[in-house]
Chains A and B, each alone.
Chain A
Amino acid sequence: MARKNLSVTLKISELLYEIRNKTWLTGQSRQNGQNFEEVANMQNNEDEEHANQVLRSIGNAFATLKVRLSEYIISSQTTANDIQISDSSDLTVTLVLPSNYNQATADAVATGCHQYIVNTAIAEWFTITNKTDAADYLTLAGANITQVREAISKRVRPTRVTPTP
């Protein structure tokens, strides 16, 4: 039976922007007029040490995402390494889905994957810089992966083909 391929592309610039924007907004809202250093530390930006940490976290989250969706991924990969992902290459994964997969959920799969990576990376970032908020993002990431799996599980109802008498 023919399968449906769903190719999901996650733009690295969109992932980085959302992580930086969320951590920037969090910092802004935590200001108390004295904690300038703490606020600056929780606001992820393009500085080398910030970028390296967040790219490593995005790479980790993407790898975990593929594990969680591995039953839908067919790969002929024969080598692997631990090199940190680059901030200029997008993340892509092709899901091989049953023929009755409901493609109406394709966008939900992509946004769910995006949110999972963003929330996981922020959880890791806040584990270092703002511990009180880290667990919330881990919870959100858990909900995101459930959402992705639910979206992938949607099926179209069968269509009866009237047989010729």
Chain B
Amino acid sequence: MISATFTVPKAEVYNEVAKTTSYTGIKMSGEDYARIFTTDEDRMMLERFFNEAANGLTDVLKPFLVSVSDTSPLHCVDLTRNYVVSLELSSSYDENLNGSVESSMFSYFTNFIVGNWYKFANKEEAETYMATAASMVMDIKSKIYFRKKPVRLVPAE
């Protein structure tokens, strides 16, 4: 078996969410920008979405799960509580995919949070982000379930 640990840094996810919502808002009028752009005051809501994203991903990864960071709800935002998951993957898993898996996890969190935020703030684009989040889950699955081809060891005569 191959052990692998993946980390999704919460602060970076929130920064990415802020960037994405800011870009979307800039393309619109002043009022829309204020509504769409996520600010530090919105973080309690984002925190709930982060935890939901974490729970959804943990469910996908549970056949391989060794440990996962705590995602129990808090009454405050704790930016140090990253999503950290340790997995025991198949011996035929390709470790060269580790970076790509982690990157897909990051994108999943970002899209999931933006999609849920847009259900309140920018309904027209919400489905697009939710669909992208779902496709990121498929992307993660395609990598962790990928199996390297077997290698033949030529036996001694």
Residues of chain A whose beta carbon lies under 8 Å from any beta carbon of chain B: 11, 13-14, 17, 20-21, 24, 27, 34, 36-37, 39-40, 43, 45-48
Contact = CB atoms under 8 A, between A and B. Distances in A.
B90 A40 contact: yes
B75 interface: no
A45 B152 contact: no
Q: Specify the main secondary structure of chain A where it touches its partner.
A: helix
Nearest to A51: B91
B145 A45 contact: no
18 contacts: A11-B155, A13-B155, A14-B155, A17-B153, A24-B147, A36-B141, A36-B145, A36-B146, A37-B141, A37-B145, A39-B147, A40-B147, A43-B92, A43-B147, A45-B92, A45-B147, A47-B1, A47-B91
A45 B145 CA distance: 12
Listed from nearest, the 9 A-B pairs whose CB atoms lie closest are: A36-B145, A20-B150, A40-B145, A45-B92, A17-B152, A11-B155, A46-B91, A43-B147, A36-B141
Contact of B145 (A17, A20, A39): A39
A21 B153 CA distance: 12
B149 interface: yes
Which DSSP category, helix, strand, loop or mixed, fits chain B's interface?
loop
Nearest to B143: A36
A48 B1 CA distance: 8
B128 interface: no
Contacts, number: 46
Size bracket, chain B contacts: 10 to 19
Nearest to A21: B150
Interface in B101-123: none
B150 A24 contact: yes
A20 B92 CA distance: 11
Given A24-B149, A24-B150, A37-B141, A46 B92 contact: yes
Contacts of A36: 138, 141-142, 145-146
Nearest to A39: B145
Contacts of B155: 11, 13-14
Given A36-B141, A47-B92, A48-B1, 7 more contacts: A11-B155, A14-B155, A34-B138, A36-B146, A37-B145, A40-B146, A43-B92
Contacts of B152: 13-14, 17, 21
Nearest to A48: B1
Contact of B150 (A37, A40, A45): A45
Interface string B1-31: 1000000000000000000000000000000
A37 B140 CA distance: 11
Contacts of A39: 145, 147
Interface centre among A17, A36, A39, A48 (most CB of B within 10 A): A36
Interface string B83-103: 000000011100000000000
Contacts of A14: 152, 155
Contacts of B92: 43, 45-47
B155 to A, nearest CB: 5
